[in-house]
């Protein structure tokens, strides 16, 4: 925990400096916009790292250089740090105590192992690739999940210390605390009707606790979307230009983290259309900047997957580089994703399919029905509170967009993570509308208590121990040896006892599990390969004959211990492999 605090303070120095630099250029002396300094710093840092990754990995030397420049900037403009400190000093004693307790719980979660399977399948590996090599052509051919290469993992690359024995992937914990600081700083003092719904976030905060202990892109998308929703409501009738610019930044930030945030783009377009005359001097500038960001996203997709608009294969036949991920594998991955999430398009009977989706096991069995209930209840509450049903009401527009989004993903990939932000928004709005004359202090305190109890329980369940007060758990919870095998011009590493098919843990690069190699060979006759000049990876159709018996003791074993990852790595070459 103490090591994590030290890293976070180091990171915040860079983030606040970059955010302050953006503030001086765009907002100058607008004091109201200072509350967005940290969010703008995160966005600017992500874009800086993004550009660097086109050429090389993000090294410790580069990170230290940015830190030194950031320190010089803050020494020249100390007002940005003073503003943050003064905001904290202005907290009530209750809020200071609350923030301290939430920080302890978040640190416990960050110091424990991650509970999300995706952390072991591609979060760790995506960040490792960004750290060590940057954007690599055809990277998706190694492991299909690497095609996502989220902007959030790009940002995490810049927040690591880039030293093998001192690597943490705890960006979500830091971001959650930044969000809570923003909440306490601004919304405790602003209880206008337009933002009143946002004050009841503690009531639903427990739904976010499961995303804090790993670099999941879903958490920042949810929290940024809530801020964007609130800015949309605030500025719907009377627009403040700087707030619209900030909303544009947060929207593009969320989209570059995960394209599922596309709904935020519609909100920006609606607000722009309503106030297009007021924004006529800004429209062209924002359009040019938006096109620049889209070009970053498209070029990253093209390098890593061979597709311009991944995860869609649109225009895939127009530009077809040699490293393009095979179309048949793309189609298979899309079908598998739909089947696992029980997309309705995979059921001939929609009613039966919808009923099966409602009864999915695990947390889905709770979240899915709740979302449906909220979709029915929300318009009823709006009608009872005399909110007019028209396109001039921001809450009705939010509902219609949420309904459209929900129905759309039912036929694509109805994972609860993708609509969780609307579940938060609808539930928070219903509570606010149904009790605007109630003091939420004690009700919110109950919500925070539930959040903290759940967080402590989850951290203990994920193997938090007393020594983690100083040194956190490793980024991977796989207690595995990492094996190595060659296939022609491709050497890969994998854990010897993964629990899930896609898991690679913190294996050396490149990492892909042997079972996955075997599966794609058996069903598609394809294997990953590295080009002869070692500049890109591609999928090769070959005939292979080799021993796939996992229980066979391999010859030519060389054992090596890695203190950084605290595992034994076993490197080998399988002599039973032959390529024709």
Q: Convert the pLDDT of each residue in 136-166 to its tens digit.
A: 999 999 999 999 999 999 999 988 876 655 5
- How far are the Cα atoms of 70, 343, 385 from residue 370, in angstroms, in the given order? 45, 18, 22
461 in a domain, yes or no?
A: yes
Same domain, 347 and 446: yes
Q: Give 364-368's long-range contacts (Cβ < 8 A, gap of 24+).
A: 364/416, 367/416, 367/420, 367/423, 368/414, 368/416
How much is the average pLDDT of 95-109? 93
The Cα angle at residue 23 between residues 17 and 28, in degrees rounded to 5: 130
Q: Convert the pLDDT of each residue in 375-398 to its tens digit.
A: 998 888 888 877 677 777 888 888
| pLDDT value, residue 551 | 37
pLDDT category of residue 546 using cuts at 50, 70 and 90:
very low
pLDDT category of residue 502 using cuts at 50, 70 and 90:
confident
| pLDDT value, residue 553 | 32
Same domain, 413 and 488: no
The answer to whether 208 and 243 are in contact (CB under 8 A) is: no
Whole-structure pTM value: 0.89
Give the structural domain span for 365: 1-11+34-477
Rounded Cα distance between 84 and 176, Å, is: 16
Residue in 189, 190, 171, 68 with CA at minimum distance from that of residue 123:
171
* Poorest-pLDDT segment among 87-101, 318-332, 358-372, 565-579: 565-579
Q: What phi-psi label fits residue 465: left (phi over 0), alpha (psi between -120 and 50 degrees) or beta?
A: beta
Instruction: Reply yes or no on whether the pLDDT at 544 is more than 60.
Output: no
Task: Indicate the number of domains in the chain.
Answer: 2
The answer to whether 39 and 19 are in contact (CB under 8 A) is: yes
Same domain, 118 and 189: yes
Q: Convert the pLDDT of each residue in 399-448 to its tens digit.
A: 899 899 988 888 888 888 888 888 888 888 887 776 554 556 677 788 88
Rounded Cα distance between 546 and 255, Å, is: 43
Rounded Cα distance between 225 and 179, Å, is: 12
| pLDDT value, residue 554 | 31
- Mean pLDDT across the chain: 83
- Of the three residues 413, 444, 477, the one that is the final residue of a domain is 477
| pLDDT value, residue 435 | 59
Same domain, 239 and 336: yes
574 in a domain, yes or no?
A: yes
25 in a domain, yes or no?
A: no
Same domain, 547 and 506: yes
Same domain, 194 and 301: yes
280 in a domain, yes or no?
A: yes
Same domain, 41 and 2: yes
- How far are the Cα atoms of 31, 144, 146, 300, 533 from residue 149, in angstroms, in the given order? 35, 10, 6, 8, 24
| pLDDT value, residue 543 | 60
Residue in 415, 257, 239 with CA at minimum distance from that of residue 343:
415
Instruction: Reply yes or no on whether the pLDDT at 14 is more than 70.
Output: yes
Q: Residue 387 phi/psi, 5° resolution?
A: -85, 115
Sorted by sequence, the CB contacts under 8 Å of residue 339 that are 6+ apart come out as 346
Rounded Cα distance between 83 and 24, Å, is: 14
| pLDDT value, residue 116 | 86
Sorted by sequence, the CB contacts under 8 Å of residue 19 that are 6+ apart come out as 36, 37, 38, 39, 40, 41, 42, 44, 80
Instruction: Reply yes or no on whether the pLDDT at 253 is more than 90.
Output: yes
Rounded Cα distance between 11 and 70, Å, is: 10
What percent of the chain has pLDDT above 90? 39
Same domain, 536 and 469: no
- How far are the Cα atoms of 173, 215, 221, 397, 418 from residue 126, in angstroms, in the given order? 19, 11, 18, 37, 21
- Of the three residues 460, 477, 494, the one that is the final residue of a domain is 477
What percent of the chain has pLDDT above 70? 87
The answer to whether 511 and 486 are in contact (CB under 8 A) is: no
437 in a domain, yes or no?
A: yes
Rounded Cα distance between 200 and 194, Å, is: 13
29 in a domain, yes or no?
A: no
How much is the average pLDDT of 452-479? 87
| pLDDT value, residue 383 | 82
Same domain, 298 and 187: yes
How much is the average pLDDT of 39-44? 96
Q: Convert the pLDDT of each residue in 284-316 to its tens digit.
A: 999 999 999 999 999 999 999 999 988 887 776
Instruction: Reply yes or no on whether the pLDDT at 84 is more than 70.
Output: yes
Radius of gyration for the alpha carbons in the chain, expressed in angstroms and rounded: 24
More confident residue, 390 or 110: 110
- Of the three residues 415, 446, 477, the one that is the final residue of a domain is 477
pLDDT category of residue 44 using cuts at 50, 70 and 90:
very high
518 in a domain, yes or no?
A: yes
How much is the average pLDDT of 519-536? 87
Same domain, 456 and 563: no
Tokens of 265: 């783009």
């Amino acid at each position: 925990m103490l090591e994590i605090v030290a890293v976070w303070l180091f990171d915040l120095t860079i983030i606040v400096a970059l955010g302050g630099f953006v503030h001086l250029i765009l907002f100058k002396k607008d004091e109201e916009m200072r509350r967005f300094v940290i969010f703008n710093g995160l966005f600017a840092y992500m874009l800086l790292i993004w550009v660097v990754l086109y050429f090389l990995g993000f090294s410790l030397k580069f990170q230290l250089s940015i830190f030194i420049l950031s320190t010089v900037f803050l020494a020249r403009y100390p007002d940005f740090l003073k503003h943050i400190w003064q905001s904290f000093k202005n907290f009530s004693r209750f809020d200071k105590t609350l923030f301290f307790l939430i920080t302890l719980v978040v640190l416990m979660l960050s110091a424990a192992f991650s509970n999300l399977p995706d952390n072991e399948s591609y979060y760790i590996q995506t960040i490792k690739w960004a750290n060590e090599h940057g954007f690599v052509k055809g990277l998706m051919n190694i492991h299909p999940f690497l095609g996502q290469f989220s902007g959030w993992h790009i940002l995490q690359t810049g927040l690591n210390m880039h030293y093998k024995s001192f690597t943490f992937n705890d960006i979500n914990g830091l971001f959650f605390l930044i969000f809570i600081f923003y909440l306490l700083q601004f919304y405790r003092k602003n209880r206008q009707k337009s933002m009143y719904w946002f004050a009841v976030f503690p009531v639903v905060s427990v739904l976010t606790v499961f995303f804090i202990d790993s670099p999941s892109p879903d958490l920042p998308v949810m929290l940024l979307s809530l801020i964007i929703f609130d800015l949309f409501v605030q500025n719907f009738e009377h627009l403040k230009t700087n707030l619209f610019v900030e909303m544009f930044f947060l929207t593009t930030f969320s989209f570059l983290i995960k394209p599922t945030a596309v709904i935020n783009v519609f909100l920006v377009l609606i607000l722009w259309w309503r106030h297009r005359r007021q924004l006529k001097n800004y429209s062209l500038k924002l359009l040019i900047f938006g096109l620049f960001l889209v070009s970053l996203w498209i070029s990253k997709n093209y390098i890593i997957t061979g597709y311009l608009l991944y995860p869609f294969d649109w225009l895939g036949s127009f530009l077809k580089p040699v490293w393009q991920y095979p179309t048949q594998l793309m189609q298979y991955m899309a079908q598998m994703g739909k089947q696992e999430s029980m997309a309705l398009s995979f059921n001939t009977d929609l009613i039966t399919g919808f009923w099966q989706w409602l009864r999915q096991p695990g947390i889905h069995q709770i979240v899915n029905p709740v979302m449906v209930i909220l979709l029915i209840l929300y318009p009823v509450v709006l009608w009872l509170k005399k909110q007019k049903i028209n396109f001039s009401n921001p809450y009705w527009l939010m509902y219609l967009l949420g309904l459209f989004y929900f129905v759309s993903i039912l036929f694509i990939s109805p994972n609860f993570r993708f609509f969780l932000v609307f579940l938060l928004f609808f539930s928070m709005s219903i509570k606010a509308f149904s009790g605007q004359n109630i003091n939420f202090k004690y009700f919110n305190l109950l919500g925070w208590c539930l959040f903290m109890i759940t967080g402590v329980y989850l951290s203990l369940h994920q193997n938090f121990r007393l020594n983690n007060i100083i040194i956190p758990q490793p980024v991977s919870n796989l207690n595995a040896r990492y094996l190595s095998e060659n296939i022609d011009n491709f050497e890969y590493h994998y854990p010897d006892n993964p629990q899930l098919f896609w898991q690679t843990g913190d294996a050396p690069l490149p990492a892909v599990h042997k079972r996955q190699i075997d599966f794609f060979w058996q069903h598609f006759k394809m294997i990953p390969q590295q080009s002869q000049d070692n500049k890109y990876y591609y999928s090769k159709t070959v005939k292979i004959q080799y021993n796939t018996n996992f229980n066979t003791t391999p010859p030519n074993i060389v054992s090596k211990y890695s203190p950084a990852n605290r595992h034994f790595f076993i490197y080998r070459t399988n002599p039973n492999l032959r390529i024709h």
